[in-house]
A and B are shown apart, each in its own frame.
Chain A
Amino acid sequence: MRQEKAKKRESFDIASNTVVLLFALLNLFPLYWLFSSSVKNSSDVIKMPPDWWPRTFTWSNYADVFTNQPALRWTLNSLYVAGLSTALLIVTSSMAAYAFSKLRFKGRSVFFIVFISSLMIPKEVMIVPLFRISQDLGLVNSVYGMIWPNVATAFGVFLLKGFFDTAPDALREAARIDGAGEVRTFLQIMLPIVKPGIGALFILNFVQVWNDYLWQLVIGQNKESKTLMVGIATLMQDLNPNFAYKMAGATVAAIPMLLIFILFQRYFTRGISIGAVKE
């Protein structure tokens, strides 16, 4: 009876793992197609039946992307905008989240609800007023125009507050008894505890800013101030019918994101799972 049950469970495991594997392959296929098409000749990309594996490898499409366009500049702009925005966001969000979680002040809950309700306003609604402010501050065609609106978001505060809430108040009280001030308690005691949350926020915000197409499009209007996503989208509109060239551009845009995911996935999954359980 028990053996039969174990056998059934085993066959169920095999079946479910096969399904999961199939779904994984299905999800990976577009990426594979993107990479393999980028090293083909243009005519091979649109060939029917398609070449599932490139018959001839050519790196000229990548060379064209970097010689015909300031793609390196766009990549650096994207890294700078996403990197600095995220770093500053972590500073502001962690401080605000700590205050909402651990400090006691009048109207704390009301402030927090008001603050969090701003999550319901889509960014697109704010584009025009934000653009006008950026114009007045001389931030159009500047990477800083892409950075400043992203350095304080309700989402970051909301996410990190959840992590600070899980940190026992007793730790903070012990630190205070031992003579640590608020800043020291925050920096040396509480902040290390929410490291997984910071990791999760880093990756989520980095991806969000990296893909913030609309805002970066309206702010970075000249060729040099474009970011990679906007620049590559421009490439797609190029009258050049070389599909492989466009695929190479899309690959260049995808690689940094893939690297970020691969390197930070540990923090990401840990951060999400820890944040999900409240003790």
Chain B
Amino acid sequence: MLKKRAMTVLTAALALSVAAGCSGANSNSNSAGSADSAGGTSGAGKKEKVELSLWLTPQWKGVMDATEDGADYDSFFLYAADKFKKQYDKYDVKVNVQVVAGDQRDELLNVNLNGGTPPDMFFESVFAMGDYVHRGALAPLTDIVDDAARKDIAQGYWDNVTFGKDVYFYPFAHNPGTLAYNADMFRAAGLDSLVGGENEIKTWTLNEYNRILETLKTKLPKDKYPNAYPMALYALNNQGDTWNLAYLRMFGNKFFDDKNNLAVDDADGIKAAEWLKKVYDSGYSNPGAESVSSNDANAMFQNQQLGISFTNAVLYNNAKADMKAGKSPSFDMRLANIPSASGKPLAFTYVVGTALFNTGDKARMEASKDFIKFFSTDPELVKASKNSIPVRSSVASEFASQFPLFTAYDANAANMFSFTGNVAGYSELRQVLYPELQAMYTGEKTPAQAIKDYQSKGNAVLQKARESSVIKP
């Protein structure tokens, strides 16, 4: 009887959904934009109608702030599109904004590129989109970069978005990667002298760092911090691999040679791998690094099971907000650089900007360029970059008093290295590192062997990608 009733309810729900589906907003509008070159006119003036599509992965919510009513990931671009439309006189432009999840990006882009309908613009971290430049899918933006922008945005960021001789992403904000540490744990272990300031990105020497690991391992009170480990190590997949790449540079290895080949298999690279293995074997890190993901490590850190972990500006802010909202245990979380043997810390950043797809439609590409330039230079709109870290010095200094870490991040820019080297095949190269690290942590390979194999397999990937790249050195 009960089953019969349940069946009736389910059938009714199905019928209801069919009705809802029939009447729903299942518009047939294509993802890609369109230019009404047949002379479509709008009521307001006789401008050619141009429909553009902009895709983005989740960055920040709201136009300027996540606390705004109805704040969502597309709010900023919807606002910017509206403002652009009101002052744009070349075309009657409409911008369709679509948020895609990070792990859906490549599937969606590849199908749409093959189908001939890529989006007009994509707002994303440069490192995730570099391969599309080498494939010839993106168009250069060099002609819309003016002197004022060049002056306001530091050269390091321009280097990050330049492939060959051209700029392919208009930089908007950046998301610097550092270490995060639990200052309360440090104090509990008697490491007070090595705790940095609240708004400082602390730089330790490698000797100091090794001392921290050893002290956290031996002196951390077990009653207060049961099951806690000094630092995070993970190699389950390619997520968060930039920190692993940074560790491999700790002893001075340059990573890429002048011909854009991997050059990690030298004395410095092997020394770095041996250091990682020693940290792991000595119990200075969480166990099972080969099966721990960066997300796991982040959760362990938030749960006070790790003294030092990886972070970036967004993760750091999220973790602080979680503590404030009582969603995670509250502790004194601070920032530090990745140390190196030379004493000069290692820092990197994810530059976020807009790319223009080569759609072949003159009107759409022209309007897209104008829109990119508009929201990347408009004095009001560029302020939204405060949601991560502004690339523009003018914005960073304007908000310096409100966000004291902006100054620290700005000062840290001098320590930055380009972790992708903007090489062709970087995305595929990421699939090569973590299996070698896994083999090293499980003892299947020695650090030297893991590095050797990473280099040979990685260079095969790079060679293949280079041959098909449209960017020639």
- Let me know if A83 and B17 touch, CB within 8 A: yes
A18 CB-CB contact with B under 8 Å: no
- Let me know if A142 and B28 touch, CB within 8 A: yes
B39 CB-CB contact with A under 8 Å: no
**Distance between Cα atoms of A240 and B117 in the complex (Å):** 31
> CB within 8 A of A131: which of B6, B26, B111, B227?
B111
Give every chain A residue within 8 A of B96 (Cβ-Cβ).
222
> CB within 8 A of B303: which of A43, A77, A83, A225?
A43
Known: A135-B115, A236-B101. A79 touches B58 (CB 8 A): no
- Let me know if B327 and A42 touch, CB within 8 A: yes
> CB within 8 A of B318: which of A81, A225, A239?
A239
A97 CB-CB contact with B under 8 Å: no
Interface bits A249-279 vs B (CB < 8 Å: 1, else 0): 0000000000110110000000000000000
Contact residues, B23-39 vs A (CB, 8 A): 24-31
B414 CB-CB contact with A under 8 Å: no
A11 CB-CB contact with B under 8 Å: no
B302 CB-CB contact with A under 8 Å: yes
Contact residues, A123-144 vs B (CB, 8 A): 127-128, 131-132, 135, 138-144
B182 to chain A, nearest CB (A): 15
- Let me know if B328 and A143 touch, CB within 8 A: no
A223 CB-CB contact with B under 8 Å: yes
**Distance between Cα atoms of A230 and B24 in the complex (Å):** 18
Give every chain B residue within 8 A of A81 (Cβ-Cβ).
21
A258 to chain B, nearest CB (A): 12
In the complex, residue of chain B having the shortest beta-carbon distance to the beta carbon of A49: B227
**Distance between Cα atoms of A142 and B31 in the complex (Å):** 11
**Distance between Cα atoms of A234 and B101 in the complex (Å):** 5
Interface of chain A: mostly helix, strand, loop or mixed: helix
- Let me know if B115 and A132 touch, CB within 8 A: yes
B322 CB-CB contact with A under 8 Å: yes
| Stretch binding the partner chain, chosen from A31-39, A109-117, A172-180, A213-221 | A213-221
**Distance between Cα atoms of A184 and B22 in the complex (Å):** 31
- Let me know if B10 and A135 touch, CB within 8 A: no
B108 CB-CB contact with A under 8 Å: yes
Interface bits A221-244 vs B (CB < 8 Å: 1, else 0): 111110000100110111111110
In the complex, residue of chain B having the shortest beta-carbon distance to the beta carbon of A235: B101
Contact residues, B93-146 vs A (CB, 8 A): 96, 98-104, 107-108, 111-112, 114-117
Known: A46-B299, A128-B114, A238-B58. A139 touches B328 (CB 8 A): no
**Distance between Cα atoms of A260 and B9 in the complex (Å):** 12
Give every chain B residue within 8 A of A259 (Cβ-Cβ).
6, 10
B472 CB-CB contact with A under 8 Å: no
- Let me know if B107 and A233 touch, CB within 8 A: no
- Let me know if B28 and A128 touch, CB within 8 A: no
B18 CB-CB contact with A under 8 Å: yes
Give every chain A residue within 8 A of B117 (Cβ-Cβ).
135, 140
Of the four ranges (under 10, 10 to 19, 20 to 34, 35 or more), the interface on chain B belongs to 35 or more
A14 CB-CB contact with B under 8 Å: no
- Let me know if A83 and B14 touch, CB within 8 A: yes
B259 CB-CB contact with A under 8 Å: no
Known: A83-B14, A131-B111. A73 touches B24 (CB 8 A): yes
**Distance between Cα atoms of A259 and B58 in the complex (Å):** 32
Give every chain A residue within 8 A of B98 (Cβ-Cβ).
221-223
- Let me know if B327 and A135 touch, CB within 8 A: no
> CB within 8 A of A237: which of B24, B101, B227?
B101
**Distance between Cα atoms of A77 and B20 in the complex (Å):** 8
Give every chain B residue within 8 A of A131 (Cβ-Cβ).
111-112, 114-115
- Let me know if A221 and B31 touch, CB within 8 A: yes
Give every chain A residue within 8 A of B26 (Cβ-Cβ).
141-144, 224-225
Contact residues, B314-331 vs A (CB, 8 A): 314, 318-319, 322, 326-329
**Distance between Cα atoms of A230 and B27 in the complex (Å):** 18
In the complex, residue of chain B having the shortest beta-carbon distance to the beta carbon of A84: B18
Give every chain B residue within 8 A of A135 (Cβ-Cβ).
30, 115, 117
**Distance between Cα atoms of A217 and B103 in the complex (Å):** 11
Known: A46-B299, A135-B115, A217-B108. A77 touches B24 (CB 8 A): yes
**Distance between Cα atoms of A236 and B57 in the complex (Å):** 12
A38 to chain B, nearest CB (A): 15
Known: A80-B21, A143-B26, A236-B101. A263 touches B115 (CB 8 A): no
Most buried by A among B101, B302, B322: B101
Name 10 interchain pairs, CB-CB below 8 A, sorted by A.
A43-B322, A75-B17, A84-B21, A221-B98, A222-B96, A233-B103, A233-B104, A237-B104, A239-B58, A241-B318
Chain B interface residues (CB < 8 Å from chain A) = 3, 6-7, 10, 13-14, 16-18, 20-22, 24-31, 57-58, 96, 98-104, 107-108, 111-112, 114-117, 227, 299-300, 302-303, 305, 314, 318-319, 322, 326-329
Extra contacts, 18 of them, besides A46-B302, A142-B27, A214-B107 (Cβ < 8 A), are A43-B302, A43-B326, A47-B303, A75-B17, A79-B17, A79-B18, A80-B21, A131-B111, A132-B115, A139-B28, A140-B30, A141-B26, A142-B28, A224-B25, A225-B27, A241-B327, A262-B6, A263-B3
